[in-house]
Amino acid sequence: MNGITGTTKITGIIGYPLTYTLSPLMHNRAFNIRNLDYVYVPFVVEPKNLKNAVEGLRALNIKGVNVTMPHKEAVLSLLDGLSEQSKLIGAVNTINNEDGHLIGYNTDSTGFLNSLVEEGFDPADKTAVILGTGGAAKAVAVALAQAGAREIAVIGRSAEKAQAVKTSIAVANRYILVKTLTFQENLADIFKKGELIVNATPVGMKESGDLLLVPLKYINAAHFIYDLIYTPEETALIKAAREKGARAVNGLGMLVHQAAEAFKIWTGVSAPIDEMRQALIHGLKSGEQPGNV
Ligand code: NAP
């Protein structure tokens, strides 16, 4: 790639405040590696300007964007079409401009699953516990449902929100046994039975200190723990799990794989996943503060 020309296709990310994002590093590196005439730029879009911004994507013939906080749900009604996955999850993290039609996708779900499989964990016929009931929890829940998990327990602060995740799971795969619980309940048996435990809450980021949503006494060596957080690299949950002999990974793999899926949607070309991961790791090490994607 020799720089931006009149034919360069523009992609990017819309979010607010979007102070920090590592996505430009990953995508611009990937475009270079694949020698594609594309560029990826951040667009700071305040919630009150979302509708105009989406119109702007059409008007400016932008090829596609990632969508991050706080627009992932609000953007749904502004698009011309939605993938099955984004309908199930009720959130869009990628828009593709298909001949003037803006189609919404959710690559968080596939990104999580691809990362899990890359880590050697096949969720088929397994029992999973999901902590959290927000957008990421729903993406994880749908991924696990589609991959044929046997049983999923959803634990949240709000019973209503946990119920909404259950509904998404049921639509994705009606054969799965789903339990919804709150953190106030006795969770000993749920954690004991869970083979995979996914933290889809922000608990574990610096601000939450050493707070553990899974009591230490409930973690054992047979667990596989997936913490969606990727900074700090080792959260309190990951540290505790490793001390108990369990396998534990952070959310870096999901971040890379959701980006790789978006790259494929925009370009039709497979993503250079290893190079994207290296760009991300380099960005994290050189002190770039991460945002949501
Ligand atoms: P979200 O929609 O705001 O949902 C956050 C969830 O966490 C909600 O269920 C919330 O409960 C719960 N929660 C917040 N603080 C809590 C606490 N102190 N105790 C128990 N539950 C708490 O956010 P999201 O988009 O789902 O993201 C969740 C996490 O996943 C974030 O850390 C985000 O950075 C990470 N993430 C990572 C990736 C990746 O690629 N690795 C992708 C997406 C998200 P209430 O509803 O009761 O507030």
The secondary structure of 78-115 as a DSSP string is GSSEE-HHHHHHT--SEEEEETTEEEEE-HHHHHHHHH
Query: Which atom, in ligand 1's list, is nearest to the CA of 72?
Result: 25
Instruction: Give the per-residue pLDDT at 291.
Output: 54
Ligand 1 centroid to residue 152 C-alpha, Å:
18
Instruction: Give the per-residue pLDDT at 49.
Output: 98
Q: Ligand 1 within 6 A of 151 CB?
A: no
Instruction: Give the per-residue pLDDT at 242.
Output: 97
| Closest by Cα among 252, 262, 239 to 68 | 262
Residues identified as active-site: 72
Testing ligand 1's pocket by substitution, the residue of 201, 225, 231 carrying the most ligand atoms inside 8 A of its CB is: 201
Instruction: Give the per-residue pLDDT at 67.
Output: 97
Q: Ligand 1 within 6 A of 251 CB?
A: yes
Buried b (16+ CB within 10 A) or exposed e, 116-129: beeeebebeebbbb
Q: Ligand 1 within 6 A of 162 CB?
A: no
Q: Ligand 1 within 6 A of 27 CB?
A: no
Q: Ligand 1 within 6 A of 156 CB?
A: yes
Query: Which atom, in ligand 1's list, is nearest to the CA of 135?
Result: 26
pLDDT in tens, the chain (293 residues): 558 999 999 999 999 999 889 999 999 999 999 999 999 999 999 999 999 999 999 999 999 999 999 999 999 999 999 999 999 999 999 999 999 999 999 999 999 999 999 999 999 999 999 999 999 999 999 999 999 999 999 999 999 999 999 999 999 999 999 999 999 999 999 999 999 999 999 999 877 777 889 999 999 999 999 999 999 999 999 999 999 999 999 999 999 999 999 999 999 999 999 999 999 999 998 875 555 56
Ligand 1 centroid to residue 281 C-alpha, Å:
22
Ligand 1 centroid to residue 49 C-alpha, Å:
24
Query: Which atom, in ligand 1's list, is nearest to the CA of 157?
Result: 47
| Closest by Cα among 27, 51, 48, 47 to 39 | 27
Other Cβ atoms within 10 Å of 159 Cβ, number = 13
Q: In whole angstroms, give the CA distance from residue 144 to residue 139.
A: 9
Q: In whole angstroms, give the CA distance from residue 15 to residue 23.
A: 12
